[in-house]
Copies of this chain bind each other. A is one copy, B any other.
């Protein structure tokens, strides 16, 4: 199976194991088409074309509030939620509103590469906290906060992907979330909870979100349709306190352009209200779970002793730890000669050198045969380099 078209950053004919995109055969194109078709004839069709409410499409807000309250037993109201242009739009807005150049923010080591990139673009002072298999190590975070406090400083926020972290695949357990909320209260920083993989889970339940555990206090939580519907629609949501949502909604960017993407938000609202999204989600989880299983079996078969890797219960990614004999730049170069591309660990750290023994594989995007073939090729190259 070959890709129909070559998306952003992908070399035609290659095996792009770096790509955190949904596979093209998992996009519910027909369902979105039906949703769009049912809007054209309606009396509210002009609403798709005009500037939208700053808070976002009201029907979509209503749908999400009801769903989050039902599925997660939250007690939010519509004042707690706004529509954003994907999680990216949320991170950008949060940085606009909460930070200035030079402000400190905390991240995990490793953390999501493109979020680090945004923080660097904004000249933020990014401090990282080591992780173990439960995410950020609370003692290390506390030490870092004390040292900052001694210097008269405090972070503006801690940025975290709490479930199936990008890149490590780790889900942080409840106790650790509670401990970090305690630190956030003590030191007065916000928690930016980038929860974009929540709905791509292969397990029954997830720990309660930071947002739920803190009763919404000083937590900004993002969700997205990019992983469970289609990234090209650019629609996500942001949960926060009513006061913070009101602040954000009255920001200059929202006043100038109106709310996030009225045209696609209306289509997403219609798609979700039809019930198609829930059915699609159930199917999608099975598809991604199968891809995770295939990747895991291929890794078990292909990787030599000395290579370890995560076994994530959801999300898009597997994180590999290489033996010291394997140079990551060298491996990337050899893989490129065989048309295989992965995300080197170096991009996921404030100090790139810390990632020199890691790489991230995505099982979400490439055709299944390519997933197997790509991992076999990487296994062979690593065996050759370990010999």
Contacts and interface: CB of A to CB of B under 8 A. Distances in A.
Interface string A137-155: 0000000000000000000
B252 A114 contact: yes
A178 B272 CA distance: 53
B49 A29 contact: yes
A277 B25 CA distance: 33
Contact of A86 (B97, B255, B257): B257
Nearest to A54: B8
A259 interface: yes
Contacts of A113: 255
A120 B83 CA distance: 23
A326 B232 CA distance: 50
A27 B47 CA distance: 11
A118 interface: yes
A31 to B, nearest CB: 11
A100 B22 CA distance: 35
Interface in A22-38: 22, 24, 27, 29, 32-33, 36
A127 interface: no
Interface string A92-107: 1000110011100000
A171 interface: no
A231 B47 contact: no
A43 interface: yes
A187 interface: no
Contacts of A49: 24, 27, 29, 32, 230-233
A45 interface: yes
A66 to B, nearest CB: 23
A33 B24 contact: no
Nearest to A261: B234
Contact of A4 (B46, B97, B262): B46
Contacts of A51: 7-8, 21, 226, 231-232
A315 interface: no
Contacts of A253: 88, 91-92, 118, 121
A161 B378 CA distance: 54
A40 B40 CA distance: 15
B43 A5 contact: yes
Given A96-B92, A101-B101, A263-B234, A52 B8 contact: yes
Contact of A262 (B47, B120, B232, B263): B232
B261 A53 contact: no
19 contacts: A5-B43, A21-B50, A24-B46, A27-B49, A29-B40, A29-B46, A85-B85, A88-B256, A92-B92, A92-B253, A101-B102, A114-B255, A118-B253, A118-B256, A121-B252, A231-B257, A233-B263, A234-B261, A261-B261
